[in-house]
Structure 1
Amino acid sequence: MTATDIIAFEDTAFGELDAAHRLRNAVLKEALPKPGTFGFRGDIALAFQDQVADEARPPAYSIEQVLAVADAASGKIPLLAGYLHDFTWLKDVGEVLEDYLSPEGTYVFFVNNIDFLKKYRVPLSGSLMAYVLPLDESTVWKEVLELVGIEKNDIKKLGAAEKLEYVMDAVAKFEATYPELSYEDGLSVMEPVRNRNENRPV
């Protein structure tokens, strides 16, 4: 890759989200091997706490463990996977990210309070659809690898950016005919939010 192939972070949808203080806890935030694309791993804040004076407070809640790719040419985020602690936050995802997501994109959310045996397709807003799956005592990274059939050995020799691109390229090809569930119907069938620290070593 030449220097001219490397896009600026600010030239992508991530740049706008970062300027709005929504990108948090980044563990990867850099150009990917494919020219014109940028990768992000971290959290995306969905709602903020009220601030007192200049006191810095953490977000009220976020999409956590995000794996995402931004395309500079389109200004969109065509690929995103992440963890939501509560199904109700899907509404915030649709509102906060609506301008950055694409109907042709692939969006996967692992949600704390859905039945462990259920998987759905849920409209985010307009023609935007998301896959919604359960998550129990695992990580988004591990679940995504399993979802798209990638073994750890397939990517162990790759760098961080190369790993993300390899995995998200597989996510782009992922398709599943899960039952479609409206957000309103989802609210009625969701289970109580589970304590994420329950049954874990102290």
Structure 2
Amino acid sequence: MTSIETTAFQRLDAEGRLLKPSHKGATHHAGRFGFRGEIAVSLDPLLALEGVHATAQEGEAALSFLAGSLASFRELPALVAALGASAKPEGKYFIYVSDLDRASRYEISIDGVPLNVLPIDDTSVYNELIELLYLDKTKMKKYDTAEKIDTLADGAAKYDQRFEAISFEEGLKRL
């Protein structure tokens, strides 16, 4: 069974960044560890990536999949800094941001970490991902939390749609 000590979550956990977990453990995929909850971007004052669904493979230093929401586009660099080595160029990262225009969908690289940045209104990250990744919501209702995380991570791994690539600075100008 995969333990947190052998994954990219180990450092985040040791720093007290993994908050409010509804799942923090192995998933149904061999060697995969999943997390659902919040990740602290800063601890004082507390700023968190909310509605998080994330996975990491055993023995790998970085998360393979991450999705969550931030209140402001301006918080993206702080998120990448908090993730540090737990993020990698090959990862699939979907960050929903409350202050983006509904039609905005961007691909932004910060310190070599590619982020798919999308708007979010009053819905949940979970529901947004189901729609974005074309997953069957009815089937997913029958899954336990670990299987839901696996399904989201697998869907993200297959996702190949590209959004407009812009710099973080250009994104600030478009707010």
1:188 has 2:173 as partner: yes
Distance (Å, rounded) in 2 between the aligned partners of 1:98 and 1:180: 22
Computed over aligned residues only, the root mean square deviation of the Cα atoms, in angstroms, reads 1.2
1:103 has 2:89 as partner: yes
User: Which of 136, 147, 157 does residue 162 from structure 1 map onto?
Assistant: 147
1:148 has 2:143 as partner: no
Question: Any runs of at least 4 consecutive aligned residues in structure 1 with deviations exceeding 3 A, and if so which?
Answer: none
Distance (Å, rounded) in 1 between the aligned partners of 2:63 and 2:166: 23
Maintained 8 Å contact 1:25/1:43: yes
Distance (Å, rounded) in 2 between the aligned partners of 1:9 and 1:99: 16
Query: What is the TM-score normalised by the length of structure 1?
Result: 0.83
Matched-pair identity in %: 34
SS at match of 1:21: coil
Query: What is the TM-score normalised by the length of structure 2?
Result: 0.95
Distance (Å, rounded) in 2 between the aligned partners of 1:92 and 1:37: 26
1:70 has 2:65 as partner: no
1:135 has 2:120 as partner: yes
- After superposition, give the CA deviation of every residue in 1:115-164 in whole Å (9 maximum; x if it has no partner): 111111011212x2111110001000000000001122122222211121
Distance (Å, rounded) in 1 between the aligned partners of 2:34 and 2:19: 14
1:113 has 2:108 as partner: no
Distance (Å, rounded) in 1 between the aligned partners of 2:61 and 2:103: 36
SS at match of 1:76: coil
1:60 Cα deviation (Å)?
2.1
Distance (Å, rounded) in 2 between the aligned partners of 1:71 and 1:41: 15
Distance (Å, rounded) in 2 between the aligned partners of 1:187 and 1:46: 19
**Unaligned 5+ runs, structure 2:** none
Distance (Å, rounded) in 2 between the aligned partners of 1:163 and 1:61: 26
User: Which of 2, 13, 19 does residue 14 from structure 2 map onto?
Assistant: 19
User: Which of 40, 48, 51 does residue 43 from structure 2 map onto?
Assistant: 48
Distance (Å, rounded) in 2 between the aligned partners of 1:20 and 1:7: 20
Distance (Å, rounded) in 1 between the aligned partners of 2:164 and 2:152: 25
Q: How many residues align?
A: 175
Q: Whose Rg is larger?
A: 1
